[in-house]
Each structure stands twice: as structure tokens, then as C-alpha cells.
Structure 1
Amino acid sequence: MSAEHNNPAGRPRGSARPGYSFDVKLWKVSKTGRKSRPWRLRWVVAGRVHGDTFTTSALAESRRSELWQAMNRRGEAFEIESGLPESEVRAAAEAAEAADAEPTLRWFEFCRKYVAGRWRTAAAKTREGMADGLAAVTLAMVKRGDGTPEDESLRLAFRWGIVPANEGEDPPAELKAAYEWITTTDRPLCDLADAEVFEDVLYRVSYKLDGTPAAGDTYKRRRRALNGALEHAVATGELPENPLQRTRRKRVGSHDVVDRRVLVNAVQARQLLTSVSYVGSWDRCRGRRLVAFYAVLYYAGLRPAEAVGLRLADCHLPENGWGTLTLRETRPVSGKQWTDSGERHDRRGLKAREASTDRPVPIPPVLVAILRAHLKEFGTAKEGRVFGNERGGVVGSSTYWRVWEEAREYALTPERIDSPLAGRPYDLRHACITRWLNAGVPIAEVARRVGNSPEVIHRRYHGCIDGHEEAANAKIAKALEEEGDIAQ
């Protein structure tokens, strides 16, 4: 049943140092009767029983062989407390000492290094997206206690501190306390392997500060940021595996489908464009400067950032007939801290395309006329851009949002103002795409003109195409009639 310690090293009994003994008995592998770990190995050190269970008999026999060799071949003493051979106790102590000697990488320092490594090759929007996603995770990666700053302050402090240019600088006075809390109470990176900590991480990614679910796009962006950071941690050996890969993806917020309620018809669109011209004083032209801006969203399906970057050289505007806008760049809005130029508008190539490629978009005569009238009255802005502010600078997102909100109040009835109808300038693009689809333009051609994939167009707009339900009902009715004829 058992194997006695032979002590081949020749040390007399009792010569083991305190806490250790050569009095070891090793028992044979037996069965536990349990399903999860059915094999048991037991041994006795100085009268004290030790044991372990295993999932297979092979593992149990392998462990028994290790202990037998320590007993009979190497003549090791066993620690009475743990029941382990002296060599294993020593190895564990050395590993623990090495771990204590090497500083543990903490969450904020890891994020700072990770973001700095990606900064040079990332667009401003990508940088901001990374910062936002990792800031959400940070709320789960700091320890809570008396005096913990508000979550919003912690989030803003992280976003400030993660910018490479701010390393070594003093934080703004209003963020100082939150920044100190993040940098002194943040958890070690390895805490992400803790199931309870990571559950809180997933919550922070999925929900807003007020406890309501985050929008679908926000959740996806945060999850991408977290996944990229975790994959980097695995690649550099900081984490043994990516814990995000063990979790099922949750559906949170919107399902990326356009809401039919935001779509304007032709009459409503014309009323809104007319109302834009009444916003602001006539001499400053605040609204009139943007009528053509909103028109290119509605008639050509441009994104606002694409319209901001449109240049006169990109426009073919004949006196009669159709024209063409050849899109070459986009000017997405980001904070100054995220751009290389220090300006709020980054200069990028077209979305989802190579930097050197363009996208020609045919435009109808009505839009050609609107653009010709705009250029005749206002000329071009700096760098030959079609649209600019009063000083010739880039049109800011806050400007075209405020003008649009005021125009809706002029154009819509009170009950419509409170509805989602054309709630955002971007909804004009949705209306354009829906109109083309309902006109019978093939999905592939619509996708080419607006700079999306056919899969995205089909997924986002399938519920906005009119006539499909009626056509499907007619086909079903015809089939039922034919089946009735056959039954007769």
C-alpha cells in the first residue's frame, strides 16, 4: 500500500532541519468516488497526512513518481507543514522572492505605454476612442474607499493623463485629485484575471455613468479598445491569456439599424433647408452659409466630416444636368489633444478606404444649382474649401449642430420637434440613402456612392425600404391561391 523513505543520501534519521522530516510514507493511487477529480494520491510526513486529487489516473501516477524520486533517488527531506519535498519548497520560495523583487505592472502605467505605442500611427478619432474605452475600464481598475473622486472626474483625469504629451506635466487643478487617485490606487494589470474584477470591467464597458445601457456603437468601440489592449498585454507576456475571449459578447443598446422615425420626406427636407437660411442675423449669414452644407448630406449622402473637407477642385458643377463631387478627404472632429496638428479637425483619407483613393458621387441638378448659388454668394473658404465659417475657417460640429437645432424649431410643428424626426444632421444622409434604395438603385451602387459596404447598407437600412411587405404579401397570397386550386 505504501513506499517507505529509503534515504539513499546517507543522512541519519533526525538530521533534517527543523520543520522537515525523512519520515515519509507514500501511498498508492486510489479512487475518490467523485466525478470531477476521481483519483487521489496520499502520503504521510512525520505522521501528518497530505493528499491531492487528479482528473486522470495518469496525472496521479506522474505526481506519485515525482514524490517517489524525491524520497528514494535524491534523498530529500519533506516539509512537515506542506508535505512537499525540500527542492519544491525552495523553488516556490525563490519564485515568490523573484516576484516580489520585480515591480508589478499597474493598470495606468500599462495603458500609458500601450497608447504611446499606438499614437503615431492612429487617427485622432482612433486615439480618442482608445482613451474613452480604457477610461471606462479604469473605473473598475481603481480601488474604492473614503475620498474616492466622482466617476466623471476619474474618467476625465484618465483621458488627460493618457495623452503622451501630458506625461510628466501637472494635471489641471480640477483634475488633480482624481489623477492622483488613478495613479496611486490603480490595480495591478494581473488583476484582470480575477473573475470578480473582470465582471466589473464588463459592466463599465456596457453601461454609462448613470447606469443606463450604452449605445450599441459606444459599446462596440469600448470593447474594441479593451480587446486591443488585452491582446497587447498577452503579446508582451504581461497576461497569460485575454480574459475577454472567455466572455460572450453582449448586445447592448441599438442594433445598428436606422430608425424609420428619423427619416424626412421630400417636403420636410425642403422646409428644413429653407428654415436653415433664417437662422442667425442676415448680415452674419450664419444659417445661409450652411444651406448647401446640409443639402449635400440630403442629396448626395455625404457624411458631415466629408462635407466639411469638400473643396471646389473636387466639384464638377455644370450649368445644366448632373454634376459630380469627387471626395478625397474627410475632416472628422476631435479634441485638440488627439490631433497631431493641435487643431480640432483632423485631416484624414476617406473612411474605410486607402488614403490615396477617392470616391466620385454623381449629384442631381437640384444640388448642382444649390452649390453654384452658394459659391456665387460666399465664394470659397481657406484651402479652397466649399464650406467655411465667417472667418473662412473649418465649419465646427458645434456650429452645424446648433444651426440645425434652431432650424428644426422653425420648420417643424411642436409635436414634431419633440420627435426623433431629423434629430441630427446625419439623419439627412440616412434619408438620402433610403430614397435611393426605394427608387430601385442597386444596393452595390448605393454602397459605392456613400462609402459603405453592401453588407452594411443591407443591415442598416433593410427596415426602411418601402413596398417590400406588400410585395411579399402578394407573393404569399398567390401561392395560397395556387395551393387552393391544387386542393380542388
Structure 2
Amino acid sequence: MELEELSANPLHKVKFRKTKTNGEIDRRCVVNPKQARALLTAVTYVGRTRGPMLAALFACMYFGGLRPAEAAGLRDKDCYLPEKGWGLLTLEKTRPQSNKRYTDSGETHEERGLKHREVTETRPVPIPPDLVSIIRDHIATHGVGEDGRLFRTRTGGLISGSAYAKVWREARTYAFTPDQVASPLAGRPYDLRHAAVSLWLNAGVHAPEAAERAGHGVDVMLRVYAKCIDGQQEVANKRILDALAA
């Protein structure tokens, strides 16, 4: 149409209307802490080296709420890992996977800045002692790559999404009952991030703080995770009764 090669715009004849979705998370995919720990343990049973080398990556998604690409880009210099207490991950780079045809470098994993942020912007993510210990053990056992990356293949390459998804599928069969395996429960590694944010909100973490850790806008986070916040009705009822009695 811009080149004036068509006499009329044919798009008005298209009747298709895209179904609107609100992006809410299916609460059936969200694991509880006991199930999450069982999955992380099950990952270490997959293969001789594949699972053990990826266990900490999955732990970053659950305990830190990281996106898979953020965990894949994690470097040792991004990690503050004290011997005791909470640690800190300062996220700066991601390693999203795309088709080579759609990247500027021609590589499947292209280094980029954080999602929804300026290229030079970082995001601090406090991590609990459990994850501090897991990452410390991972570095002690597997070391880091030449570029400081924590997670890589045995030859130093980048781990593909299909590779860690395969490990995840096998781990689910070890950690879950057959009915759970057939369900949406933690069907994808990304569901560990959903479980993390849901846990924070259920624990009473204020929405702005949870959104900052997850790298979300507050409005988006509350819309996406609205149905994953269990027990809030009872909490609200108690607060209203307390206010009425004051």
C-alpha cells in the first residue's frame, strides 16, 4: 500500500479477531516449596553430568525468580555469596535463545540487556541462604567459564533451551506421581519463576518490592499473578474485622 502497488487495501475484508487474553498464570502450574525442592533434587539424578550441572540454574529460577535467559547469562562477578545469610545477584546480561536468522550476530544465543530495561541498567535480586549455598557448591564443583558464566556445556558452550527442557521433563517423572506428570504442574522450567513470585506475594512481600525483584511492573505483576495468591481473602476479612472493632 505504501508503494501504491495495490488499488485497494484488502485487510478490511479479514474477519479474524485475535482472542484477547489477560496473561494470568494458570495456578495449576505453580508448585509449592516442598514440590519445588523435590524437583530440584530430582534434576541431579538426570544423567551423569547433565542434571548436576543444571541444578543450580533451575534453583536460580525458583529461589531468585530469574527468567531462564537471565540465569543463563549469570556470571560469577554478578554474585555476592557470603558464607552466612542472604546473598545478592546483580543482573546485567541475559542470553535469550533465538533463531540465527533473527539475531544481529548470527548466533542462537545473543547477549542482551535485561528485559524491559535500558541496555546498561542492572537489577539487584536478594537471594536466600539456600540459593547462596547452592551457587557456592556449583562453582566449587563445576567452576566457571572463560567469560565467567556459571552455566555452560562441558565444552564451554551455551546451554540450549531444548537441552534443559529435556532434563526438566525427566526430572518431573522422578519427583511427581503419574497423575502430576500428566498435569500442568511445573510443566516448564519457567514455571519455577511463577512459583517464586507467587510465593513472595503469598508471604506478604509488598507488590512494589516483589515486582522489583522479578523485573516486572507492579500493575503487570498483580494482573498476571492475581489468581496465584492463596489465602488473601481470609487475611482481608481479618483486617476488616480488626478495623471495625477499633
1:267 corresponds in structure 2 to 34
User: Do residues 352 (structure 1) and 119 (structure 2) align?
Assistant: no
Aligned mates of 1:471, 1:323 — CA distance in 2: 30
Would you say how many aligned residue pairs link Structure 1 and Structure 2? Answer: 242
**Structure 1 residue runs without a partner (length 5+):** 1-102, 106-187, 207-249, 483-488
Q: What displacement does 1:471 show?
A: 3.2
User: Do residues 191 (structure 1) and 9 (structure 2) align?
Assistant: yes
Q: What displacement does 1:394 show?
A: 1.0
Q: What displacement does 1:448 show?
A: 0.7
2:99 corresponds in structure 1 to 335
CA-to-partner distance for each residue in 1:343-379, whole Å, 9 max, x for gaps? 1012111111111110111111110000010011110
Supply the AA of the counterpart residue of 2:23. Answer: D
Aligned mates of 2:226, 2:7 — CA distance in 1: 43
Is the 1:313–1:384 Cα contact (8 Å) retained in structure 2?
yes
Give 2:125's match in structure 1, choosing from 353, 361, 365. Answer: 361
1:309 corresponds in structure 2 to 73
Runs of 4+ aligned structure 1 residues displaced above 6 Å come to none
1:299/1:189 CA distance change after superposition, 3 Å: farther
Matched-pair identity in %: 50
Q: What displacement does 1:189 show?
A: 8.0
Give 2:228's match in structure 1, choosing from 426, 441, 464. Answer: 464
Aligned mates of 1:419, 1:329 — CA distance in 2: 33
Secondary structure of the residue that 1:287 maps to in structure 2? helix
Aligned mates of 2:239, 2:122 — CA distance in 1: 42
Bigger relative contact order, structure 1 or 2 (CA pairs below 8 A, ≥6 apart)? 2
TM-score relative to the length of structure 1: 0.47
Q: What displacement does 1:321 show?
A: 1.2
User: Do residues 392 (structure 1) and 159 (structure 2) align?
Assistant: no
Supply the AA of the counterpart residue of 2:217. Answer: S
Aligned mates of 1:363, 1:293 — CA distance in 2: 13
Q: Larger Cα Rg: Structure 1 or Structure 2?
A: 1
Aligned mates of 1:457, 1:189 — CA distance in 2: 45
**Structure 2 residue runs without a partner (length 5+):** none
Over the aligned positions, Cα root-mean-square deviation in angstroms equals 2.0
TM-score relative to the length of structure 2: 0.92
Give 2:166's match in structure 1, choosing from 402, 406, 417. Answer: 402
1:190/1:328 CA distance change after superposition, 3 Å: farther
Is the 1:382–1:393 Cα contact (8 Å) retained in structure 2?
no
2:87 corresponds in structure 1 to 323
1:191/1:394 CA distance change after superposition, 3 Å: same
1:296/1:475 CA distance change after superposition, 3 Å: closer
1:210 corresponds in structure 2 to none
Aligned mates of 1:349, 1:399 — CA distance in 2: 23
Q: What displacement does 1:465 show?
A: 1.4
2:24 corresponds in structure 1 to 257
Is the 1:322–1:364 Cα contact (8 Å) retained in structure 2?
yes
